[in-house]
Amino acid sequence: MKNIIITGGAGFIGSHVVRLFVNKYPDYKIINLDKLTYAGNLANLKDIEDKPNYKFVKMDICDFDGVLTLMQDEKVDGIIHLAAESHVDRSIKDPFTFAQTNVMGTLSLLQAAKAYWESLPEKYEGKRFYHISTDEVYGALQMTHPEGIEPPFTTKASSGKHHLAYGEKFFTEDLKYQPHSPYSAAKASSDHFVRAFHDTFGMPTIVTNCSNNYGPYQFPEKLIPLFINNIRHRKPLPVYGKGENVRDWLYVVDHARAIDTIFHEGKIAETYNIGGFNEWKNIDIIRVLINTVDRLLGRPEGADMDLITYVTDRAGHDLRYAIDSSKLQRELGWEPSLQFEEGIEKTVRWYLDNQEWMDNVTSGDYMKYYNDMYANR
C-alpha cells in the first residue's frame, strides 16, 4: 500500500492525475488535497468519488499544521504537488496571492513532509516529493529560423524526432531561469525551494516543467475552453496583440501519463521537461478552434472568423515557449500519444457535449454546491 497526497487534485491537470492513479493503482490510497478555490471543481471527479481508494480533503496547502497532521494520520509515502495559482493575468493584478500559494504553500508542504518523514525509523526511504512546475520559469525564446526558411519549419530535436517549430532553440533542463511574470517568478521560487530541500536535507525530490496543457475539465479562463464556449455562443474572441505568440501544447492526459511515469521511475533530484513538440501561434490555434466548432455544430466552416477581436497585448507577454522533452523520452520512454489535430478534436467534442459542466462553471454554481457539501468537514 502506498499513501499518496495529490495537491490541487480538483483542478484541471490535478483531476486527470487523480483519476489515473485511482483507477490504475487500486492498492494505493489517493488523498486529493484541495482548497477548492475558483479553479477547483469536484465535479471533475464525480466518476471516481466513491472509489474505496480515494479520499478528498479540503485544506489549504499553506496550513502547515493541518498538512503535517494529515501526513501523520494517513502515513503518507509520497506527495505529487500540483496546487498553484496559475493564471498570468491574475498574477499581474494580484502578485501577493501567487507568492502566498505558490511559494509559501510549497514551503509548507516541504516542511511538513520533512518533519513527518524524518520522524520515521526509515526516514526518507521509499518516499518521494514530486513538484510540478511550468515552462514559463525559463523566460522566452526568440522566433529564429535557418537562413532563407520562414517559420514554422521542420527541425529535429535531440531525441531524433522531427517536428514543426518557430525557432531553433528550445527549453532544456539545464537552462537558466528567467521568469518574466509574477506567476512564473512564484513558480521559479517554489522550484528552488524544492531543490534546496534535497540539497540541504536529503529529501527525495523531483521537479518537472511542462508546456501548455489542453483537454477536458479546464477552467474556462484559459484560451481553448474560453474560446470554444465563446464560439458556440457567438461571443467575441479577444486576442492579445496580433496573436503571434507561440506556445507548445500538450494534451492533458499525456501530461498525467508523464507524471505517473516520472513519479515511479524518475531519478531523485532530477528535472524533466514535459512537452508535446507541438508549437502553434495563438491566432492559428484560434482559427483551428473556429473551424472545428463550426463544423461540429453544423455551421459553415469558418463562419465565425469575424468573432476575432484584437485587444491590447498583455504586459510582459513572452513571445515563444518551446519545450525539449527529449530527456524524458530518452531516459524513461515517455512520449505524447496524440497528435494535436486528434487532441483538439477530442477536446472540442468534450466541451460541446458537456455544456452543463460549462454552464455550472461559468455561472459559479459548482462552487456553492461543493463548498456547502464540505463546509463542516
Active site (catalytic) residues: 135-136, 183
Identify whether the C-beta of residue 216 lies closer than 8 Å to the C-beta of residue 169: no
Residue of 363, 330, 340, 303 whose CA lies nearest to 160: 330
What backbone phi and psi angles, to 5 degrees, belong to 71? -60, -40
> Which value, in Å, is the radius of gyration of the alpha carbons in the chain?
20
Angstrom distance (rounded) from CA 95 to CA 26: 40
Task: Reply yes or no: is the peptide bond before residue 152 cis, omega within 30 of 0.
Answer: yes
Identify whether the C-beta of residue 152 lies closer than 8 Å to the C-beta of residue 102: no
Angstrom distance (rounded) from CA 253 to CA 14: 10
Alpha helices in the chain (DSSP H): 12-24, 64-74, 88-93, 95-98, 105-117, 182-201, 223-232, 252-265, 282-296, 326-332, 340-353, 355-363, 365-373
- Return all residues near 185 (Cβ < 8 A) that are at least 6 apart: 179
